[in-house]
Chain A
Amino acid sequence: MPLLVLGANSLIAQAASANFAEAGHEIIFAGRNKEELSKIAGDFNIRYKVNCLTEYFDALDYANHRKFVETVFTISPELNYALIVFGYLGTQEKAQSDFTEAHKIINSNYTGVVSACELIAAEFESRKKGSIAIISSVAGDRGRQSNYMYGSAKAGLSAYSQGLRNRLFKSGVNVLTIKPGFVDTPMTYGMPLPKLLVASPKKVGKDIYKAMIKGKNVIYTPFYWWWIMKIVKSIPETIFKKLKL
Chain B
Amino acid sequence: MKKLAEVELSGFGKFPKAVCQVSRPLNIDEIRGYLNESSVTPRGLGRSYGDAALNEKGIVTESVLMNRFLSFDESRGIVKCEAGVTYKDLLDTFVLKGWFPPVTPGTKYVTIGGAIASDVHGKNHHIDGSISNFVKSFKILSASGEILKCSRTQNSDLFWATVGGMGLTGFITEAEIQLKKVDSQYINNKTLKLHNIDELFEKFEEFNEDYLYSVAWLDTVASGSKYGRNILYLGNHSSYNKLPEKFKNKSRERFIEKKIAVPFEIPFATLNKLSVTMFNAAIYMKEKNVEDYLHYDKYFYPLDFILNWNHIYSKNGLIQYQLNVPEEEGKEAIDKILKKVVAYGGGSFLAVLKKMGDQNGILSFPFKGYTLSMDFPVRKGVIQMCKQLDAIVLDYDGRTYLTKDSILDETTFKKMYDGLWQKWLEIKIKYDPYYKFSSNLGRRIGLCPS
Q: Spell out A's residues near B (CB within 8 Å).
A: 11, 39-40, 42-43, 46-47, 186, 189-190
- Collect the chain B residues with CB atoms within 8 Å of residue A190's CB: 3-6
Contact A39 B24, beta carbon cutoff 8 Å: no
Query: Which B residues touch A40, using CB under 8 A?
Result: 68
**B71 touching A46, Cβ below 8 Å:** yes
Residues B5 and A42 in contact, CB atoms below 8 Å apart: no
On whether the beta carbons of B65 and A42 are closer than 8 Å, the reply is: no
Is the pair B69, A43 in contact by a Cβ cutoff of 8 Å?
yes
- Which of B6, B24, B79: most chain A CB closer than 10 A? B24
Bound CA span A42–B93, Å: 13
Cβ-neighbour of B5 out of A39, A47, A189 (below 8 A): A189
* Cβ proximity bits B11-52 to A, threshold 8 Å, 1 near / 0 not: 000000000000010100000000000000000000000000
**B62-82 residues at the A interface, CB under 8 angstroms:** 65, 68-72, 79
Alpha-carbon distance between A42 and B85 when the two chains are bound, in angstroms: 14
Interface contact A46-B26, CB-CB below 8 Å:
no
Can you name 25 A-B residue pairings with CB atoms under 8 Å?
A11-B65, A39-B68, A39-B70, A42-B68, A42-B69, A42-B70, A42-B71, A43-B68, A43-B70, A46-B69, A46-B71, A46-B93, A47-B69, A47-B92, A47-B93, A186-B1, A186-B24, A186-B26, A186-B65, A189-B3, A189-B5, A189-B24, A190-B3, A190-B4, A190-B6
Measured between C-beta atoms, what is the minimum distance from B449 to chain A in Å? Answer: 29
Q: Kindly list chain A residues whose C-beta atoms are within 8 Å of the C-beta of B5.
A: 189-190
**Chain A facing B: main interface SS:** helix
Query: Within the complex, what minimum Cβ distance (angstroms) separates A131 from chain B?
Result: 26
| B64 → A minimal CB distance (Å) | 10
Residues of chain B with a CB closer than 8 A to A47's CB: 69, 89, 92-93
Least distance between A206 CB and chain B CB atoms (Å): 13
Which one of B4, B65, B72 contacts A46 once the chains associate, using CB atoms below 8 Å?
B72
Cα–Cα distance between A189 and B23 once the two chains are bound (Å): 8
Nearest A residue to B26 by beta-carbon distance? A186
Count: A-B pairs, CB below 8 Å? 32
- Mask of B144-177 contacts with A, CB within 8 angstroms, 1/0: 0000000000000000000000000000000000
Q: How far is the CA of A46 from the CA of B1 in the complex (A)?
A: 29
Q: How many angstroms from the CA of A213 to the CA of B18 in the assembled complex?
A: 45
* A186→B1 CA distance, assembly (Å): 9
> Residues of B contacting A186 with CB < 8 Å?
1, 3, 24, 26, 65
How distant is the Cα of A43 from the Cα of B68 in the complex, in angstroms?
Answer: 5
In the bound complex, how far is the Cα of B126 from the Cα of A148, in angstroms?
62
Contacts of A11 in B (CB 8 A): 65
- Give chain A residues whose Cβ lies under 8 Å from the Cβ of B68: 39-40, 42-43
User: In the docked arrangement, what's the CA distance between A43 and B85, Å?
Assistant: 11
A189 to B65, CA, bound (A): 12
The docked-state distance in angstroms from the alpha carbon of A40 to that of B67 is 10
Max count, chain B CB within 10 A of own CB: residue among A39, A43, A46: A46
List A contacts of B26 (CB < 8 A). 186
Measured in the bound complex, the distance between the Cα atoms of B67 and A39 in whole Å is: 10
In the bound complex, CA of A127 to CA of B89 (Å): 38
Q: Told that A47-B69, A186-B3 touch, could you supply 5 new A-B pairs with CB distance under 8 A?
A: A40-B68, A42-B70, A43-B69, A46-B69, A190-B3
Q: Which residues of B contact A39 (CB under 8 A)?
A: 68, 70
Most A C-beta atoms less than 10 A away, residue of B65, B68, B93: B68
For the complex of A and B, 5 pairs with smallest distance between CB atoms:
A190-B5, A43-B68, A46-B69, A190-B3, A43-B69
What residues of chain A lie closer than 8 Å to B70, measured between beta carbons?
Answer: 39, 42-43
Bound: A43/B92 CA distance, A: 13
Across the interface, name the chain A residue whose C-beta is closest to B2. Answer: A190
Minimum CB–CB distance for B1 against chain A, Å: 7
List the A side residues contacting B6 at CB < 8 Å.
Answer: 190
The residue on A at minimum CB distance from B93 is A47
Chain B residues with CB below 8 A from A43, complex form: 68-70
Closest to B92 in A: A47
B24 CB, nearest partner CB in chain A, Å = 6
Task: Kindly name the residue among A11, A40, A43 whose own CB sees the greatest number of chain B CB atoms within 10 A.
Answer: A43
Contacts of B89 in A (CB 8 A): 47
A189 to B21: give the CA distance in the assembly, Å: 12
Interfacial chain A residues near B72, Cβ < 8 Å: 46
